[in-house]
Structure 1
Amino acid sequence: MANVIVFDLYGVIALNQADEARQRIVELAGAEAEPFWEAYWACRPAYDAGQDSTAYWNAVADRLGVRFADVPALIAADLDSWSRVDTAMAGLIYELADQGHRLGLLSNIIADLVPVWESRHGSLLSRFAALTFSCREGVAKPDRRAYEICAERMGVAPGEVLFIDDREENVVAAREAGMTAEVFRSVEQVRELAKTVAL
């Protein structure tokens, strides 16, 4: 296998939303939590693939049959909730890059979050040879094309990539695209997997 390791961002390198952040978003929306999160996630694929933020939040409101009082505040709270990094995994990324591994990132991410990550975590992002973001490609995991585009960005065939993601369906899709892929469990797991990739 070529010396290429591609990571998912959220749930692997980036932390998922904290409970307090989720509560803040629900409060701003003025909605009941369960139907709100159902609408939030149901509308998310188009947002991940490049939909405008205001259009996304209007779609969530339409699904709930309401109108949000302060969409800009919802956008800001949502962006902030997705901008935290797992320091242990970030440290491993620096470690692997320093060892000479070629690293890539394949993330379902909304367009407005990219500059947030570039401003807050630019040093970390700089350690990746290629960044494949769904919002820029117009296609999101688990669509097979997302993995093919990522491999193209890395300059290799899918079969030369070790891919790590926290979601089983994304790992299955990566394997179907030809990649070696594993569900993320821990920093130590990734460190051991990296040893199987030739330097």
Structure 2
Amino acid sequence: MSTDRRRIVLFDLFGVIARHQRPGALEKMAVRCNTSVDAFTTAYWTHRPPYDAGRHTACAYWTEVLSALSRPADADTIEELRLTDIDSWSRVDESMVAHVRNLRERARVALLSNIPADHADAFLAAQPWLHDLDHLAFSGRIGAAKPDPAAFQHSVIALRSAPADFHFVDDREENVRAAQAVGMNGHVFQSQDDLAAALDAWL
């Protein structure tokens, strides 16, 4: 067991520190596939879980999406969609970034995000502050995505701590409930002010 028993704030990424998908991105990709937004959105999300969890490569994911839309899966189309998709998830909330970084004076800070491996690589390259955190767990790299208990257990093992040492922050209630089910504390993120109050009380 680690001798560092400071409490750990474990953050989700999108919807908390990073912005949700860029408005208009799905429409842009649907146009590239010459299909309706509804059809594209259904295919995009239906085939997403194995990609997020690292069981499918980007090529396999986009091949499945294009096949579901009865569109040819040529290499140029796949790469254009892949890069557009990565860009659509690239925005951060700078105020939350500052909040997360400042927390490290009071606690260990880690990240647990559902994100494909190639997206994680791009995010790490664009956001070097992430390397200052105590641990980074990306679903596409660890082979488990929230709300799978294995995703939370990965962080417990990696940080050599007990679940009760963690306060997990996510904007999705089902993920917070899953964290609580493995013994973590949890907070459903709605605003930075609410989060600050909850963490002040916990820390």
> TM-score band (shorter)?
over 0.9
What is the rounded CA distance, in whole Å, between the counterparts of 1:187 and 1:168 in structure 2? 16
What is the rounded CA distance, in whole Å, between the counterparts of 1:35 and 1:181 in structure 2? 35
Contact 2:12 2:113 in 1 (8 A): yes
Say which of 136, 153, 159 aligns to 1:154. Answer: 159
Instruction: Name the SS for the 2:202 alignment partner.
Output: coil
Say which of 109, 117, 128 aligns to 2:123. Answer: 117
> Are 2:112 and 1:106 equivalent residues in the alignment?
yes
Gaps of 5+ in 2: none
Q: Which amino acid aligns with 1:112?
A: D
In the TM superposition, what are the counterparts of 1:106-185 in structure 2 within 5 Å? 106-123=112-129, 125-185=130-190
Say which of 13, 19, 22 aligns to 2:23. Answer: 19
Task: Name the TM-score, length of structure 1 as normaliser.
Answer: 0.93
What is the rounded CA distance, in whole Å, between the counterparts of 2:187 and 2:40 in structure 1? 31
Contact 2:16 2:170 in 1 (8 A): yes
Residue-pair matches, total: 196
What is the rounded CA distance, in whole Å, between the counterparts of 1:55 and 1:178 in structure 2? 35
Q: Which amino acid aligns with 2:122?
A: V
Residue 190 of structure 1 deviates from its aligned partner by 1.6
Task: Name the TM-score, length of structure 2 as normaliser.
Answer: 0.91
Contact 2:168 2:185 in 1 (8 A): yes
Q: Can you list the C-alpha shifts for 1:32-61, whole angstroms capped at 9, x where unaligned? A: 111211111111110011121110001112
> Are 2:86 and 1:79 equivalent residues in the alignment?
yes
What is the rounded CA distance, in whole Å, between the counterparts of 2:36 and 2:63 in structure 1? 17
Instruction: Name the SS for the 2:17 alignment partner.
Output: coil
Identity, in percent, stands at 36
Instruction: Name the SS for the 1:19 alignment partner.
Output: coil
Which runs of 4 or more aligned residues in structure 1 lie more than 3 Å from their structure 2 counterparts after TM superposition? Answer: none
What is the rounded CA distance, in whole Å, between the counterparts of 1:190 and 1:110 in structure 2? 26
Instruction: Name the SS for the 1:131 alignment partner.
Output: strand
Q: CA RMSD in A?
A: 1.5
What is the rounded CA distance, in whole Å, between the counterparts of 1:58 and 1:78 in structure 2? 14
